[in-house]
A and B are shown apart, each in its own frame.
Chain A
Amino acid sequence: MLELELKVNGERYAVRAEPRKLLSDVLREDCRLTGTHVGCEHGVCGACTVLVDGRPSRACLIYAVQMQGHDVTTIEAVAKDGELSPLQQALHEAHGLQCGFCTAGIVMTFEAYLKENPHPTEEEVREVLSGNLCRCTGYHNIVRAILRASGATA
C-alpha cells in the first residue's frame, strides 16, 4: 500500500492504494467521485476519460500513483455553481445522451477539444468523437450538440 496525495478538481485527497490501482478505481472508490464511469478497462470505449493537466486521458489506463504532482479534473467539476457548461447545456437541448453512461467521457473529451479548436467542422468533431463509444444515440445528436456548443451552425 502506498500513501498518495492526489489533486482532483482542485482539492487534495490523501489516498492509501496499491501501486497497481487504476486511477479510475481510485477516483470512484477512494475519492467517491463516481461520475467517471468504467466501460471497458482497456482504453477503447472512452467512458472513463478525465483531464490530466487539462488533457483528455483514459483513467482506466493510468495508475493512480502516476498522478502525484498532476491536476486531475473529472466531470463533477465541469458545471460551476449548478450551472451547466455550454457543452453540457447543448447536450441537454439536442438530446445528446440517453442512458448517460458514456456521457462524462464525451463531455471531458470535448471540454478540452473545444478549447483547442473552438470552431471545428462536423468532420473534425466526428473524428475526435470516434474515441468515445455510445451505444444509445447513434452519435447524430452528440455531433449536433458539440457543433451547437462551439457556436458553429448545427
Chain B
Amino acid sequence: MQRHKFRHIGAPLARKEDLRFLTGHGRYVEDIEIPGALHACFVRSPHPHARIKSIKTEAARKLKGVVAIYTGKDLAQWTAPLRMAPPIEGLLPVEMTTLPIDKVRFHGDPVACVIAQSRYLAEDAAERVEVDYEPLPAVANLAQAVSENSPKVDESLPSNVLSVQRFSTGEVEKQKREAFKVVECEFHQSRLTHLPIETRGLVAVWDEGRQHLTVHIGNQVPHPLRSQVAARMRLSESQVTIVSPDVGGGFGQKIALYREELAVCAAARELKRPVRWREDRMENLMAASHAREDSCRTRAAVTKEGKLLGLELEILEDFGAYCFYPANYLARVVAMIFTGPYKVRDYAFEVKVALTNKCGNGPMRAPMAITSWLAEGTMDAIARELELDPLEVRRANMVETRELPYSMPTGEVIADITPRETLEAAVKAMDHKGFRERQAKAREEGRYPGIGFCSVVESTTYGSKFYKSAGIPGSGHEAAWLRIEPSGAVNASVGLGATGQGYETAFAQVVADGLGVDPSQVRIQMGNTEVAPYGMGSRGARGGTAGGTAIFLAARDANEKVLAIAAKMLGFDSAEGLHLVDGRVEREILGERVKTDITLAQIARTAYLDPTALPAGMAPGLDFSRTYDPPPMTYSNACHACEVEVDAETGALKIIRYVVAEDCGQVLNPIVVEGQQHGAIAMGLSGALLEHMCYDEDGNNITGSLADYLVATSTDLPNFEVIPMHTPSRGNPVGTKGMAEGGVMGAVGVIMSAVNDALAPFGVVADRQPLSPAYLRSLLRGRQL
C-alpha cells in the first residue's frame, strides 16, 4: 500500500471516546461498583528513615467496621518479594518485600494496611495504629548519598551508589587537550512527580471457586502487570485478569505494580472479599512515584569556530529509596542519545545512580526529558564563551540531511529525520532577526526579553534490539488482533493501555485503511487482558508505531483473506485487481475502479456460515492476529522556539510566544497528534517553571498538597503554535515515527535557552529548574545594570 493513498490515516476525525467522557459516563476504576467491597487505607511512615520496632493494632481493631490490619510480616507470607536483578553490568541487585518489615525508607513509606467497611472507617482506624519507630539519620540529598560514612538506604548494598556505568569512544582526553577551548556547564533538574488527575487505585476481586483474581485498575501496561501480579501472588497467569477501563492519566506513573496494589490483591484473596483502594492526593504526591532529579555536567572540546571535537557527559541521578525499575535505565538512555542531531565522534559518559530516603523514582513522560536541554545548553554555552551566534554554533554542528543515516558515537543510528529543516522553520517563524532588533530596544528600556531554540531528536519506539544492545531487559514488540464478525462488524484490539491518547479513534483509522472499511465500522477493544492480546503496553511514545503497525498488519492480513473470498464469489482465479473500499469490493478494469455487488458483510457471512463456499483449502472465519517488533529505534524530531520576558525587579518569567516545528512522520490523526504535542510541551514547561518535589534537609517531604507542589494552570501557559513538517519514516509500513514525549524534551530545553538569552546582559546563567521568581532573583541580586 502506498503511503499517499491513505484515505483515513491522517484524517482529522474527532475522537470516538469523547462522548462518554463529556457526559459523565466514562468508566474509571472508582466508577466500577463492586457490591460488598471493603476499603483499604495505608498507615504511612512519618519518618524519612527509621527502624520499625513494633506495630500495635489492637486499638484500631476495636473500631466497629474494621475487618483486618496487615503488616509487612503478614504480606510476606502471601506474596513474593520484588527482586530487581537484571544482568546489567554496573548495576547492583536489590530486593523489597511487599511492605517494609524492619525499617521504613522514606516519609510516606507504607507500613500497614487497614481494611474496613468504608474508606472513612479505614482512615479512622489507620490513625489508631501505633507504630513504634527508632528514627535513623536520613540520606536527604545526592551529596549525602555519595559521601563517605553516609547512612545506607539499603543495608544490603556496599554504598548508596547503586549503579555506575561508563562509556568512551574515540579520544576525548586528547581532544580536550588540543581543543581551542573546553566549555563546561552544569544542569540541575528538580524532582518531579507525574500527577495524573486520577490518583492510583484498584479493586481486587478474588473468586474462591475458580481460584481467580480479577484486578480492576488504572494501568498503562495491562499484560505485563498481569505477569507481575501473578508472579508476586504466586499464581499462574491464567489465574489473573487485569481490567483497566478508562484511565485518568498515567504519564508513566501507572506502569509498575506498586506495593499498595499488591497488598490489596493479597488482602482480597486472604479475606475472600473484594477490596478496593484509592489513594488520596497527599499519598499520590508523597508516595506514588517520583521522577527526574538529575545533576549533570557536560564538557565540550571545541574549535575557535565552535565546532565540537569531543564531548563528555556526567549524570548523577537521585533514584529515591526503592527500585520498581532497573535504576540505570532512565539515565542511561539520556547518555546514549545525548548528542541528538549534533555530530561528534569522540564521546565519553559516566552515569551514576544513587539511592536516597525519598519516594522511589520511575519513568515520567519523557524519561530522557533532560537530553535536549543538555545538548542545547551546551551549544548555548559554547556560543556564550566564544562570543558566537548560538544559531551558528548549532548549524555548524548539526547533521545535514545528506549525511543521514548518521551513527551517533554510541552507535545509535538516526535516519529519516529533518533537524535542519525544523530548525530553520522555527527560526523563520520567530522572525529571529526582527526579534534581536526588538530585544536591543527593550533592553534600553529596562525590559529583558529572550529567545531560545531547542532541537529535539526523540527516541519514540524502542525495538527489542535496542533493549538488548542497551543492556536493558524488555521487549519492544506489540500485539494486535482483528476479527470481522459474521455481520461484517469489525473488532480489533491491541495490547496497549489507553490513558487519553485517542487509540479508539486513531487505530480505527489504521484498521480502516489496512482493511478497507470506514472508521465508523471499527471498534477498538482494549483494557482487558481477557480481550486484548499480550502486548507490552503504553510507555514512551510507542503506541502509534508499535501498536499502530501491529494492528495495521493484522488488517492487511484480513484484507488479503477477504479479497481472496471475494474473488471466489466473483468467479475469479485470483484477487489481483480487487480492492475493498469502505466495505465494498471494487475491481480494477483498465485502470478504472468499478464497484461490484460484493460487500464485506456478504464475505463475512460466507466465511462464518457457508464455509464450503470458500476457496479450496481456506479455513473458516475471519480472525487474525499479529505481533510486530519495530526496528531497534525510531526517531522523530522537532525544533522548539520560544520568546520570554524576565522581569529583573521581581524575577517573574513570562512566556510571550511558543512555536514548535515538528516532524513525526505519517500522522494517524492530526487532532490527536497536536493534542499530544500541546500536552507534552505543557508538562515540560510546568516542570521547568513550577514543579519541585521538595524534601527538607532532614528528608521530610514538604510538598504534600497541591498548594505546595505547584503545577501549571491555564494562566501559566501560552498558546502553542505547531508547524507540521511531517515526512514519513521508511522503517515501518505506515510511515509513523511516534511523538508525545519530545514536547517535554523541547520545552525543558527551550525555556532555559530563552531565559539565559534574556539574562545575558547581567552575565549570569540559569542552570537549574524550576525557574521560580525566587531563583531568578537570586541570580540577579547585586547584578543590576
Contacts and interface: CB of A to CB of B under 8 A. Distances in A.
Nearest to A85: B22
Contacts of A41: 280-281
Contacts of A125: 714
Nearest to A42: B705
Given A44-B707, A100-B26, A135 B249 contact: yes
Nearest to B249: A99
Contact of A79 (B15, B22, B246): B22
Interface centre among B30, B197, B671, B674 (most CB of A within 10 A): B197
Contacts of A127: 714-715
A95 B672 contact: yes
Contacts of B590: none
Given A101-B196, A130-B715, 4 more contacts: A35-B26, A44-B706, A135-B197, A138-B679
A36 interface: yes
B500 interface: yes
A126 to B, nearest CB: 4
Nearest to A130: B713
A121 to B, nearest CB: 13
B784 interface: no
Measured as residues with beta carbon below 8 angstroms from the partner, the interface class of chain B is 35 or more
A74 B24 CA distance: 9
A38 interface: yes
Contacts of A136: 249, 500, 675, 679
A8 interface: no
Nearest to A21: B120
Contact of B248 (A37, A44, A75): A37
A74 B23 CA distance: 10
B714 A139 contact: yes
26 contacts: A25-B119, A32-B33, A34-B30, A36-B24, A39-B281, A40-B705, A41-B280, A42-B705, A45-B281, A76-B25, A91-B18, A97-B22, A98-B501, A99-B198, A99-B246, A99-B500, A100-B248, A130-B714, A130-B715, A130-B716, A133-B706, A133-B713, A140-B678, A140-B717, A141-B678, A142-B714
A99 B248 contact: yes
B681 interface: yes
Interface string B190-202: 0000111111000
Contacts of B248: 37, 39, 99-102
Nearest to A140: B678
B113 interface: no
Nearest to B682: A138
Interface in A61-82: 74-76, 78-79
Contacts of B280: 41
Contacts of B119: 25
A55 interface: no
B719 interface: yes
A53 interface: no
A117 to B, nearest CB: 16
Interface in B38-97: none
B316 interface: no
Contact of B22 (A37, A103, A138, A139): A103
A112 interface: no
A43 to B, nearest CB: 9
B42 to A, nearest CB: 16
B720 interface: yes
Contact of B675 (A44, A75, A98, A126): A98
B28 interface: yes
Nearest to B282: A42
Contacts of B195: 135
Determine chain A's interface SS by DSSP, over half rule. loop
B375 to A, nearest CB: 24
A113 to B, nearest CB: 13
B14 A93 contact: yes
B22 A84 contact: yes
Nearest to B684: A138
Contacts of A139: 682, 713-714, 717
B683 A135 contact: yes
Nearest to B499: A99
A99 B248 CA distance: 5
B519 interface: no
Measured as residues with beta carbon below 8 angstroms from the partner, the interface class of chain A is 35 or more
Nearest to A76: B24
Contacts of B675: 95, 98, 136-137, 141
Nearest to A125: B714
A88 interface: yes
A37 B484 CA distance: 36
B24 A137 contact: no
Q: 3 smallest A-B Cβ distances: which pairs? A: A35-B24, A100-B21, A138-B682
Given A42-B706, A100-B500, A134 B197 contact: yes
Contacts of B711: 133, 135
A37 B33 CA distance: 14
A36 B717 CA distance: 26
A101 B198 contact: yes
Interface in A16-30: 18, 20-21, 25, 28
B31 interface: yes
A95 B24 contact: no
Nearest to A20: B120
Nearest to B23: A79
Interface in B697-750: 705-707, 711, 713-717, 719-720
B17 interface: yes
B251 interface: yes
B247 interface: yes
B197 A99 contact: yes
A76 B23 contact: yes
Contacts of B198: 37, 39, 99, 101
B706 A138 contact: no
Interface centre among A28, A130, A142 (most CB of B within 10 A): A130
Interface in B175-226: 194-199
A17 B169 CA distance: 68
B305 to A, nearest CB: 38
B281 A137 contact: no
A4 interface: no
Contacts of B488: none
A38 B28 CA distance: 11
A134 B679 CA distance: 9
Interface in B220-267: 246-249, 251
A129 B678 CA distance: 17
Contacts of B720: 138, 140
A115 B719 CA distance: 25
A143 interface: yes
Contacts of B679: 98, 135-138
